[in-house]
Structure 1
Amino acid sequence: MISFNYETDFKLEDEALVSEWISNTIANENCNEGELNYIFCDDDYLHKLNVQFLEHDTLTDIISFDYSVGKELHGDIYISVERVADNAKDFKVDVSEELKRVMIHGVLHYCGYKDKTDDEAKLMRDKENYYLKALT
């Protein structure tokens, strides 16, 4: 089950379509959908989590807590809509596209993809692009 939660005034458009897209991505990656919670927040909210749980005193666009068991995906994905909007400007893309990229990025991590090395990051980006195209 995918749920969307809000700690800011932001509201995701067309939750049902986005939820179906995420579910299809999970199935396509041969994983099973468990309980996935997306929490949309602002920079201050996510910064506090970053300091408290990861000991990183920096701003970030996403923090995910993975509680998956094998191929059954469970987790909490926190997304700063402020950071996503700033990144969209920097990358010269639509805010909606950047938000969806970040959302699917978190799920792909749960599916087992990493992005620490150049090769891993390239594969992650290719997967993001593939699934973004599937949504449009």
Structure 2
Amino acid sequence: MTLKLEWSNEQSVHEIPPEWIVRLKELLKIAGEEEGVTDGEVALTFVDDERIHELNREYRGIDRPTDVLSFAMREAGEDEIAIIYGSDDEYEVIEETVDGAEVEDGEDGDDDSFSEPLGDIIISVPKAFAQAEEYGHSPERELGFLFVHGFLHLIGYDHGSEDEEKEMFGKQENILNKAGLSR
């Protein structure tokens, strides 16, 4: 299994050079290694400020544009059922119990051609370019920062408290430094 990046560009304000996508794939690999995430698929979409504003309002109830949004697919709550697709339309159902133990039912479903989605990351490219200028670094670095930030949210990190923020932002900087995207 492996980590995969699927991406699309739904904005036309700024060009996204192919080498930046290569860099984002490298960041995903480094972040996965650092966090012990060895397989899954991340869907990345580049949008404009208007679209991210709509999404932020619709899904977070915040009526303004933001720089990045993350929508995790692995946030199964208590007693929710997660369906993991396998080969030939077989599937495995894992039911989480109250104490977190897993009860498996169904086929093995171990197929290297399909990666379980980790979630979606949406980045406002105009916002990223503006922030890069404001912070005095390259747009490539800012897109990398936002992508790693989104990835860490997908795998469960948050920055609601001072301690959480310190941990998450430390991890982001470590990953960016390993990829050669330091400030």
Deviations 1:18-50 (A, max 9, x none): 213312311320123312100001000111111
Structure 1 length normalisation: TM-score? 0.88
Native 8 Å contact 1:73 1:110 kept in 2? no
Question: Whose helix fraction is larger, Structure 1's or Structure 2's?
Answer: 1
Q: Which has the higher contact order (CA 8 A, sep 6+)?
A: 2
Q: For the pair shown, which has the larger CA radius of gyration, 1 or 2?
A: 2
Secondary structure of 1:11's partner? coil
How far apart in 2 are the matches of 1:57 and 1:110?
Answer: 22
Q: How many residues align?
A: 135
**Hey, what does 1:128 align to over in structure 2?**
172
Secondary structure of 1:36's partner? strand
Question: Structure 1 residue 57: deviation in Å?
Answer: 0.2
Structure 2 length normalisation: TM-score? 0.67
Q: Could you tell me the percent identity over the aligned residues?
A: 28
Structure 1, unmatched stretches of 5+, are none
How far apart in 1 are the matches of 2:120 and 2:17?
Answer: 16
How far apart in 2 are the matches of 1:46 and 1:65?
Answer: 13
Question: Structure 1 residue 123: deviation in Å?
Answer: 1.4
**Hey, what does 2:156 align to over in structure 1?**
112
Structure 2, unmatched stretches of 5+, are 77-115
Native 8 Å contact 1:40 1:78 kept in 2? yes
**Hey, what does 1:4 align to over in structure 2?**
7
Structure 1 residue runs of 4 or more that deviate by more than 4 Å after TM superposition: none
How far apart in 1 are the matches of 2:127 and 2:23?
Answer: 23
RMSD after superposition = 1.9
Native 8 Å contact 2:47 2:123 kept in 1? yes
Native 8 Å contact 2:45 2:123 kept in 1? yes
**Hey, what does 2:18 align to over in structure 1?**
13
1:127–1:65 CA distance, 2 compared to 1 (3 A): same
1:44 to 35, 46, 50: 50
